[in-house]
Chain A
Amino acid sequence: MSVTIDDVTYIAELARLRFSDDEALKMTDELNTILHYVDTLNEVDTEGVLPLSNIHDQKNVLRADEEHEPIANAAALSNAPDSQDRFFRVPKVLG
């Protein structure tokens, strides 16, 4: 499997990343190196093996439906670039 520069540009856009042309080329090369490396895994016979969704051999790590103490509003907002009253403030999303 390999990717083209168009794939990289598309994925970058979805991830809200901006690359210069040079960077995009470099990324394409690097991604392809990684993909080719991982390709080795395709040589393993996985017939009858269930897809692995998690590397831990654990199931059902669940908590009881109980409330904990929330953090204070001021603490919640303390790292936000911008806030007003009790809210996070961001640039207008809809016009």
Chain B
Amino acid sequence: MKYELVVGLEVHCQLNTKSKAFCGCSARFGNPANTNVCPVCLALPGALPVLNRQVVEDAVKLGLATGCSIAPLSVLARKNYFYPDLPKGYQISQFEEPICLEGGLRIDAGEGERHVRLIRIHIEEDAGKSIHDIGDDTFIDVNRSGVPLLEVVSYPDIRTAKEASVYLQKLRQIVKYLGISDGNMEEGSLRCDANVSLRLYGDEEYGTRTEIKNMNSFKNVEKAIEYEAERHRQILEAGGAISQETRLWDADKGETRSMRGKEFAHDYRYFPDPDLVPILVDEEMLERIRLELPEFPEARAERFVQEFSIPAYDAGVLTVEREVADYFEELAGLAKDAKVASNWVMGEVLRTLKEKYLSIEEFIVTPVRLGGLIRMIASGAVSNTIAKQVFELMQESDASAEEIVEREGLAQVSDSGAIEAVVDGILAANPGQLAAYREGKTKLMGFFVGQCMAKMKGKANPQMVNEVLVKKLGA
């Protein structure tokens, strides 16, 4: 392919504050229509906005986490346009003086680490919601109007569709680690617009770009960019020109299409909002927030490797989500053996959460309870196989591993007399296999182990069964 793909992303991240950006209405999603409303977010005459302190702090957190410089003084501006779900006729945003400038994210889409630079991060408010698909009219819900957003704008530094999705996932991981947003794309708390263009390899100048909207999953971001790049390529190869426009991604049809309606040149006539005073971030606030920043995934993974001597791969998986990393860290302390703890979290725990659509915070088998089970394995009180049964049972009540093992009679049998008796019985009951084994079919060892374990309902200490069998079969 002689064309190079060039992509820049604009990501809107919905903050998880209790109240809206400029009034005390609940920012909660899913309340009945037009019930989280007041004179400010309804734009009733005379109502005045007052900025939510948490929004400023969240913006500073994200700015610091992405290596931005934080503007000591920034200004809220009006972006003027008319749409029924924008009651004021303008959106409060930031234009000339955003709160965060010039940062970057390190991403790795499988071809080595790359740096995607950020132009800016700014504060703005969300619009209301228009519902077009009931009856002949449009219905407006103002609940979302005024909910705080941070818009993160990247330079056109992204070169593949995969990189775009990895960049977004990285951003999602950061906002979740910071605890400032739930970062859910499907529910719209992370929204992404992509500016896509092609240029010949070696060209300095960018080609004409199109902006794609309406991609509501990481997969769709990739697909939409790939589709759009191919569309550009075909037009360019045929000697055509790209027209600069906004296009909507249609996930069902797998294509982008031009947004209808007359292309009004975007002329938002931004100006500083006279209702709001400048935002001042002083050294004291900056320092306080810097100290509050959590340990980020890479640093935490590195520490896990050092502190718990687990493989880098494990540490990577365990730190993808902050809550999982918290769970593991608590468990590793309780379980004594960090590698075993890691295996359990990466295996049984994450599998169960996925199957049951649970988040780790709502998982009934807490680190304390799982730690108890892992200590029982370490002491030989239960076998690994039985431990998995116990783990399943632990999800049905809050009984401890010990109580369950006791109640269900699942304790491991390590009594050599009892095991020898079972082994003798199995050998006597299978003379054909015994003879074949002695003639050299040593693979039958597995058969005898299996028979013994079955007879003892899995509770025998497998190592002892092996030892006894080796002894008896060798005789």
Task: Number of B interface residues at 8 Å Cβ cutoff, please give it.
Answer: 51
Closest CB in chain A relative to B78 CB, distance in Å:
12
Decide: A59 near B73, CB < 8 A? Known: A66-B19, A92-B138: yes
Cα(A61)–Cα(B136), bound, Å: 43
8 Å CB contacts to B: which residues of A16-54? 16, 53-54
Tell which of B56, B82, B136, B141 touches A87, judged by Cβ atoms closer than 8 Å. B141
Cα(A87)–Cα(B260), bound, Å: 25
Tell which of A67, A86, A95 touches B26, judged by Cβ atoms closer than 8 Å. A67
Closest CB in chain B relative to A8 CB, distance in Å:
14
Q: Which of B235-243, B277-285, B382-390 contacts A (4 or more CB under 8 A)?
A: B277-285
What are the interface flags for A54-95 relative to B under an 8 Å C-beta threshold, 1 for contact and 0 otherwise?
111011111111111011010011010010111111111111
8 Å CB contacts to A: which residues of B230-279? 260, 267, 269, 272, 274, 276-279
A14 interfacial contact with B, CB 8 Å: yes
Tell which of A16, A67, A88, A91 touches B19, judged by Cβ atoms closer than 8 Å. A67
Contact, CB under 8 Å: A70 / B35: yes
B109 interfacial contact with A, CB 8 Å: no
B316 interfacial contact with A, CB 8 Å: no
Chain A residues within 8 Å of B84, by CB: 88, 90, 93
Tell which of A54, A65, A66, A84 touches B139, judged by Cβ atoms closer than 8 Å. A84
Closest CB in chain A relative to B138 CB, distance in Å:
5
Contact, CB under 8 Å: B53 / A59: no
Closest CB in chain A relative to B256 CB, distance in Å:
17
Closest CB in chain B relative to A82 CB, distance in Å:
8
B34 interfacial contact with A, CB 8 Å: yes
Q: Tell me if B's interface is mostly helix, strand, loop or mixed.
A: loop
Interface size class of A (residues with CB under 8 A): 35 or more
Chain B residues within 8 Å of A59, by CB: 73, 277-280
B148 nearest in chain A by CB position = A65
Contact, CB under 8 Å: A73 / B277: no
Chain B residues within 8 Å of A58, by CB: 277
A16 nearest in chain B by CB position = B82
Cα(A93)–Cα(B73), bound, Å: 38
Cα(A68)–Cα(B27), bound, Å: 11
Chain A residues within 8 Å of B347, by CB: none
Closest CB in chain B relative to A60 CB, distance in Å:
5
Contact, CB under 8 Å: A53 / B278: yes
Contact, CB under 8 Å: B140 / A90: yes
B175 interfacial contact with A, CB 8 Å: no
B368 interfacial contact with A, CB 8 Å: no
B333 interfacial contact with A, CB 8 Å: no
Contact, CB under 8 Å: A60 / B279: yes
Cα(A61)–Cα(B142), bound, Å: 25
Closest CB in chain A relative to B70 CB, distance in Å:
14
Contact, CB under 8 Å: A88 / B278: no
B404 interfacial contact with A, CB 8 Å: no
Given contacts A60-B280, A73-B35, A84-B139, 20 further A-B contacts (CB under 8 A): A54-B274, A58-B277, A59-B73, A60-B277, A61-B50, A61-B51, A62-B53, A63-B53, A65-B17, A65-B19, A70-B25, A73-B33, A73-B34, A76-B37, A76-B142, A86-B32, A90-B137, A90-B138, A90-B139, A91-B138
Residues of A within 8 A of B (CB): 14, 16, 53-56, 58-68, 70-71, 73, 76-77, 79, 82, 84-95
Of the A-B pairs whose beta carbons lie under 8 Å apart in the complex, a sample of 20, sorted by A's number, is: A14-B267, A53-B75, A58-B277, A60-B278, A62-B51, A63-B52, A65-B55, A67-B18, A67-B24, A67-B26, A68-B19, A68-B38, A73-B33, A73-B35, A77-B34, A79-B44, A86-B34, A87-B140, A91-B138, A93-B84
Sort A-B residue pairs by CB-CB distance and give the 3 closest, nearest first.
Answer: A68-B24, A53-B272, A65-B54
